[in-house]
Structure 1
Amino acid sequence: MTTATTTPAVRVAHDGPRARFGDLLAAEWLKMWSLRSTPWLYVITALAVVAFNAGTAYDHYKYWYEYDEHGRESFMANGSPLMDAFTGNAATVLVLAVAAIGAVSVTGEYGTGLIRTTFTAVSARRSVMAAKVLVLAAVTTVFGALVAAASFASTQAILSGRNASVSLGHPDALRIIVASALLAPVAALAGLAIGTVLRHTGGSIVGCVVVLLLLPIVLSSRRHLTAVLQHTLPYSAWERLTGTETQHAGELFPWGAGGAWTVYALWALVAGVLAVVAVHRRDQ
């Protein structure tokens, strides 16, 4: 008789080195720029924002002769050159574009199934999303700074032809540039959070429009409750930070610049945390 011996199945263990967080940052950087549409979208957005601001400044330059002496003095006294530096239309375009970029950065992966490959290679989902949050925040912060600086420089160069410009040393100039620059990462992270929760490109973009652009318009500033709710939105915070004291003089429920900066910080923090937590709690 022959005794048969069987070898127990051996479980293959993957003892390879775990992905470092720096590797995840590099991977997210490569994924961001792997699509040809991404740099073009940034370029088109930058040109559109600067064009809106420069166009407003050029209108004031072109029709400057229609202002009497009192009108020209009021133009400078009311801080109109600073309002031309970054207009409401430009802010709307910026918010819509970068929020869409933030949303698509995650919904695009869900749509193509790349997210499954990513989570299979790296099981630490929270680390993957944290890397995505940091890369998106860094890129959009630099983007916002470049666009805000270019807008300020171009608009003041146009207005300088009528001696109606202000310099960077103006007391409110730096605040307006920084507030306009930081609007980009705040909106991008909000779009990323909405995209992570909804996981659908069309629905996420609609959600970004409703939350970031429509709610500030719908909520009335003439009632205390709705005014408080309006003040919690990033677009309203941008308006508070970029507006002059003359503009805020007639507000029924005024609020300070410190509160607006706090809204910026909380939106960025909560959006980043929500994106990390949502992808960890839900299935692929």
Structure 2
Amino acid sequence: MRRAGHAEWTKLRTDAASIWLLLGVIALTMAVGAGVTSTARCDAAGCGGDPARLCLTGVMAGQVAVAVVAVLMVGNEYGTGMMRTTLTAVPRRLTVLSAKAAVLTAVTLVAATVSVLGSLLIGWLAGPGRGFTAAHGYPALSLTDGPTLRAAVGSILYLVLIGLLSLGLALAVRSSGTAIGVVLALLFVFPILAQVIADPDWQRRVQQIAPMTAGLAVQTTAGVGTLPIGPWQGLGVLALWAVAALTAGGRLLGSRDA
């Protein structure tokens, strides 16, 4: 496992596209979060804003780069034929899957942590100037605050789970383009579908099973009781999607030739 993990890390760090994409996770997440924070406004007490969630909005953009990194870890090998070399060097398919998942988790954790902490720092600096002050009922953002800490940790875990979900789907379909399309559809079609459903009960059910909508509930720090699903329960739904994708991808990896 150690040698397999080292091989996966070597392949990842020598791929310029993956390195730039990981830097893109940080840049996109922080830039979008800064843009949203700078345009938000709270002019009076009880304005209904959620400063933590606002500055973490960029996670929705950063997840796309995370998904592409995960897909390329598999798609590039199938596209170039390197997967045959990988499976010859490491015949145990479960070891290959575990090594890829471990390396992806490690690099995503680093990128996600920098992104989330940077976004919260921007919110801490810019929020008071946009009216999110103690006088309006919004103390400065702080990781010592339970809901804010949960939003931060949950956002990091969210990006990691998106990566693992994408890795599993890429192993299942074996094509980078197809896998990216499937991941993006899975993330963004559900929210669109929820908006066009007229029945409130069915709309709520769709939101409860949608990987992105349910997963990002963990960012909410205000009005949690109005969510279609609880913060940690929502992240659990995304975790189930990731486990299902990795299980399917792992089984197909073990049953098919490279």
Taking structure 1 as the reference length, what is the TM-score of the superposition? Answer: 0.80
Deviation of 1:108 (Å): 0.6
For residue 137 of structure 2, what is the aligned residue in structure 1?
none
- Say if 1:145 and 1:182, in contact at 8 Å, map to a contact too: no
- Say if 1:143 and 1:184, in contact at 8 Å, map to a contact too: no
Corresponding residue SS for 1:74: coil
For residue 38 of structure 1, what is the aligned residue in structure 2?
18
Q: Gaps (5+ residues) in structure 2?
A: 134-139
Deviation of 1:207 (Å): 0.6
**Where in structure 2 are the equivalents of 1:192-211 lying within 5 Å?**
192-211=167-186
Instruction: Note if 1:85 corresponds to 2:55.
Output: yes
Corresponding residue SS for 2:143: coil
In the alignment, the residues of structure 2 paired with residue 221 and residue 91 of structure 1 have an alpha-carbon distance, to the nearest angstrom, of 28
Q: Gaps (5+ residues) in structure 1?
A: 1-20
Aligned partner (choices 20, 23, 36) of residue 56 of structure 1: 36
Deviation of 1:232 (Å): 2.1
For residue 144 of structure 1, what is the aligned residue in structure 2?
112
- Say if 2:158 and 2:216, in contact at 8 Å, map to a contact too: no
Instruction: Note if 1:282 corresponds to 2:252.
Output: no
Aligned partner (choices 238, 246, 253) of residue 264 of structure 1: 238
Deviation of 1:283 (Å): 1.6
Taking structure 2 as the reference length, what is the TM-score of the superposition? Answer: 0.87
- Between Structure 1 and Structure 2, how many residues are aligned? 249
Corresponding residue SS for 1:53: helix
Deviation of 1:94 (Å): 1.7
- Say if 1:185 and 1:268, in contact at 8 Å, map to a contact too: no
For residue 111 of structure 1, what is the aligned residue in structure 2?
79
In the alignment, the residues of structure 2 paired with residue 80 and residue 256 of structure 1 have an alpha-carbon distance, to the nearest angstrom, of 16
Deviation of 1:247 (Å): 6.6
Question: RMSD between aligned alpha carbons?
Answer: 2.2
Partner letter of residue 160 of structure 1?
P
- Say if 2:25 and 2:112, in contact at 8 Å, map to a contact too: no
Structure possessing the higher radius of gyration over alpha carbons: 1
Bigger drift between 181-190 and 154-163 goes to 154-163
Structure 2 CA distance for partners of 1:57 and 1:230, relative to 1, 3 Å: closer
Partner letter of residue 156 of structure 1?
W
- Say if 2:71 and 2:166, in contact at 8 Å, map to a contact too: yes
In the alignment, the residues of structure 1 paired with residue 202 and residue 104 of structure 2 have an alpha-carbon distance, to the nearest angstrom, of 33
Deviation of 1:139 (Å): 1.6
For residue 94 of structure 1, what is the aligned residue in structure 2?
62
In the alignment, the residues of structure 1 paired with residue 176 and residue 119 of structure 2 have an alpha-carbon distance, to the nearest angstrom, of 30
Structure 2 CA distance for partners of 1:133 and 1:275, relative to 1, 3 Å: farther
Corresponding residue SS for 1:182: helix
In the alignment, the residues of structure 2 paired with residue 146 and residue 221 of structure 1 have an alpha-carbon distance, to the nearest angstrom, of 40
Deviation of 1:236 (Å): 1.3
- Percentage of identical aligned residues: 27
- Say if 2:78 and 2:174, in contact at 8 Å, map to a contact too: yes
